[in-house]
C-alpha cells in the first residue's frame, strides 16, 4: 500500500484514526480476504485493531429488497429468450451520469458488437438531457439487439444463464455481485470507484 497521497483506503484509515480509535475494538468490512489481503493487512497494521472481512454480505441478504428504484422485471422475460452467456448487461450505477455523446458512442459499440444487451439507463443519468426518451438513433440501434430498462433486479440478472458479461461502473457491490456469479466485467468508473 503506498504511503504517499490519500486514496479512498488511506482516507478511511486516516479518518478512523481520528474518530474514536481508542473506543473501537475492530472494523467489519464488506469484502473477502482473498480479494484484498494486502490492503486488509496494511489497514490492520496502521490501525492496530482487528479487521474482519465478512463479505460479500449481499450474498447472505438476497431475500432483503434493497433497490433504490423500482425494478423492471420484464427484462427477465427478455433474458429467457436469449442464448446462454450471450447478453452483455450494462448498469453504470445509481449515481453516475453520462453525456449524450457517451450514450451515443456506447449504443454504437453495443450495436456493432453483434451481441444482445440489457442496458440500464435510469432517469436523470444523461447529463443536460431534458428529453424523456432516448434519441431516435439510440432507439433504432437498441431495438435491433437490446433491451433498455430504467432499473433492473441486478442480482437476478447477473445470475441469469443468458448473461455473459457485465459493463459496470465498478461500485463495490457490483464487483462483489459479478464475482459471486462468475460474470466477467468491463470497467467504466465515474468517480471514486
All 3 cell numbers of residue 41? 493487512
The pLDDT tens digits for 34-47 are 888 999 999 989 88
Strands (E), 32-149: 51-53, 87-91, 117-120, 146-149
Instruction: Check whether 162 has a pLDDT greater than 80.
Output: yes
Average pLDDT over residues 135-157: 84
Q: What percent of the chain has pLDDT over 90?
A: 29
CA distance 47 to 13: 7
CA distance 89 to 158: 8
DSSP conformation class of 150:
S
Q: What is the CATH code for 74-187?
A: 3.40.50.2000
Q: What confidence score (pLDDT) does residue 42 get?
A: 92
All 3 cell numbers of residue 185? 466485467
The pLDDT tens digits for 44-58 are 898 888 999 887 776
Amino acid at each position: 500500500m503506498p504511503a504517499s497521497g490519500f486514496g479512498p483506503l488511506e482516507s478511511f484509515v486516516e479518518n478512523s484514526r481520528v474518530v474514536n480509535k481508542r473506543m473501537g475494538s475492530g472494523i467489519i468490512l464488506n469484502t473477502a480476504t482473498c480479494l484484498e489481503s494486502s490492503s486488509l493487512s496494511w489497514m490492520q497494521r496502521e490501525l492496530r485493531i482487528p479487521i474482519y472481512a465478512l463479505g460479500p454480505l449481499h450474498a447472505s441478504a438476497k431475500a432483503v429488497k434493497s433497490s433504490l428504484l423500482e425494478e423492471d422485471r420484464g427484462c427477465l422475460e427478455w433474458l429467457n429468450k436469449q442464448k446462454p452467456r450471450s447478453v452483455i448487461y450494462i448498469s453504470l450505477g445509481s449515481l453516475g451520469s453520462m453525456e449524450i455523446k457517451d450514450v451515443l458512442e456506447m449504443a454504437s459499440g453495443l450495436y456493432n458488437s453483434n451481441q444482445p444487451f440489457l442496458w440500464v439507463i435510469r432517469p436523470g443519468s444523461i447529463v443536460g438531457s431534458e428529453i424523456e426518451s432516448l434519441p431516435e438513433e439510440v432507439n433504432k440501434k437498441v431495438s435491433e439487439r437490446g433491451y433498455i430498462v430504467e432499473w433492473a433486479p441486478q442480482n437476478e440478472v447477473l445470475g441469469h444463464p443468458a448473461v455473459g458479461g457485465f459493463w459496470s461502473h465498478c461500485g463495490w457491490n457490483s464487483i462483489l455481485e459479478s464475482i459471486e456469479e462468475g460474470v466477467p466485467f468491463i470497467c467504466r468508473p465515474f468517480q471514486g470507484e
